[in-house]
């Protein structure tokens, strides 16, 4: 991990609330369940819900921020959870 100070003036926009996507991975059944989380919700709330929901079912999960950039269309930025697709190569 590389940590360094930054100049906060290097950004051009900021958004207080994000749109999230949560993917739950049922590895035993080779099935994914995807949810979109909308509204004025904090990432801590999303992580708590995702962790509890996955634990109750014995699943893994990944939480993403859904973003749209000019010209590229919608995309996802992983915030927590499983890295990559656990079904790759299955």
pLDDT digit string, tens, across residues 40-77: 999 999 999 999 999 999 999 999 999 887 777 889 99
Q: pLDDT digit string (tens) for 4-49?
A: 999 988 988 888 888 999 999 998 888 999 999 998 999 999 999 9
Distances (CA, A) of 80 to 59, 73, 77: 14, 22, 9
Which pTM does this prediction carry?
0.85
56 backbone dihedrals φ, ψ, rounded to 5°: -65, -25
């Amino acid at each position: 991990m590389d940590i360094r100070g930054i100049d906060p003036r290097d950004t051009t926009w900021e958004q207080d609330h994000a749109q999230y996507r949560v993917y739950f991975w049922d590895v035993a059944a080779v099935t994914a369940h995807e949810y979109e989380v909308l509204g004025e919700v904090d990432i801590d709330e999303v992580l708590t819900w995702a962790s509890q929901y996955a634990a109750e079912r014995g699943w893994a999960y990944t939480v993403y921020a859904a973003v749209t950039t000019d010209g590229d269309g919608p995309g996802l930025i992983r915030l927590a959870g499983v890295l990559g697709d656990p079904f790759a190569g299955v």
